[in-house]
Amino acid sequence: MTLRAEAHAKVNLHLGVGPLREDGFHELLTVFQSLSLRSVVELHSSPREDSPGPDTAVSSLEVTGLSARMVPTDSSNLAWRAVDAVARAVGVEPSDLPESARLRIQKGIPVAGGMAGGSADAAAALLLAREWLSESCGAPRLDDHALEELAAELGSDVPFTLRGGTMLGRGRGEKLTPVLSRGPWWWVLALADGGLSTPVAFRKLDDLRAAGNLPEPALDSSAVVQALASGDPRRLAEAIHNDLEPAALSVRPDLRRTLHCGAESGALAGIVSGSGPTCAFLCSDEAHAQAVAADIADAGVARLTLVASAPSGGAALLPADAD
């Protein structure tokens, strides 16, 4: 059996970071939107003999596409963990399964870029595992609510990548409420060399705050919510905000040049995407986005520039032979 699923990148239009909680996470108030950039994950099942161990339903993982070499191909990969999480949740011991799963991820989302690339892989893998275990292995089918709970356990952005669209996120970012958005919106993504670890960016923010160097957390997202409903990119450009940006710029000062270059190129607004280091530039339409992307590429301040529209949908199963 071969199954395929896609899931999309995200950009945070508002990222307000509250205090550090006792569980090591920060309380967030965020508005995120899914982008047309996506990863496609395939699950090929075969007789169980080729599985590497009794504790996992996955026999191997192959990664191709954008920065594939930076992605782990063992059981630490979030997509691999997602498959085993579904098996455990439906009460299946991997060693009792008649089959095991080979995973193949085609990355179309920058790795460690602040765009939920790993979370998207996990969201797609959750859908694949539910389908495979119920259709091919005779296991009970997990309901949507249980799948969303597993998503939140795997990572703060996995529930959003599962649902997609435009959402307000609270808690760690896993408590979601849909937000009205009159798009489409056009973005240029400027990818940086290397990644930026999410915990490092959050820790840096705590340090900067402890030193008294930053304004109060931005825990009001109403400007972004109203701008999204208006459909006016200039209004949205004035409203977008990221509390993590000073921390990301402190760890990666080179990103200032990228942001400056986007502003010079006429982007309506530029922002570090999530915890970075990808920078996202809002443009007025597709032609404007192509022109800004070309300028940023010419200036040599990004490893790669991509144009994306938003919002896109959530994780979804694809026909097995789709592109």
Instruction: Detail the residues annotated as belonging to a binding site for ATP.
Output: 110-120
Residue entry with tokens 């496609």: 40
Q: How far is CA 286 from CA 174, 186, 232, 312, in A?
A: 31, 6, 14, 15
CA gap 142, 33 in Å, rounded: 26
Q: Give yes or no for residue 242 binding ligand C5P (CB under 6 A).
A: no
Among 155, 165, 246, 314, binds ligand C5P (CB under 6 A): 155
**Residue 303: which residues within 8 A CB-CB, separation 6 or more?**
191, 192, 193
Number of H helices, E strands in the chain: 10, 12
Q: Which entry of 121, 157, 243, 295 is annotated as an active-site residue?
A: 157
Cα separation, 189 vs 281, in Å, equals 6
Pick one of 8, 44, 163, 172: the residue that binds ligand C5P (CB under 6 A).
172
Q: Which is nearer to ligand C5P, 169 or 311 (CB)?
A: 169
16 binds ligand C5P (CB under 6 A): no
Tell me if 303 sits within 8 A of 70, measured CB to CB.
Answer: no
25 in contact with ligand C5P (CB under 6 A) = yes
Is 10 annotated in the active site? yes
Active site residue 157: yes
Note whether 19 and 27 are within 8 A (CB): yes
Tell me which stretch binds ligand C5P (CB under 6 A): 57-65, 122-130, 131-139, 152-160.
152-160
Residues that contact ligand C5P, how many (by CB under 6 A): 12
150-158, 243-251, 254-262, 277-285 -> range binding ligand C5P (CB under 6 A): 150-158
Q: Which two tokens stand for residue 156?
A: 């703060």
Q: Of residues 198-227, which lie at the interface with ligand C5P (CB under 6 A)? A: 198-199, 202
* Residue 320 three-state SS: coil
Q: Tell me, residue by residue from 97 to 136, as one string, x for binding to ligand C5P by CB under 6 A and - for no binding.
A: ----------------------------------------
**Closest Cα to residue 278, out of 190, 202, 187?**
190
187 binds ligand C5P (CB under 6 A): no
10 binds ligand C5P (CB under 6 A): no
112: left (phi over 0), alpha (psi -120 to 50) or beta: left
- List residues near ligand C5P by CB under 6 A: 24-26, 28, 155-157, 172-173, 198-199, 202
- Enumerate the active-site residues: 10, 157
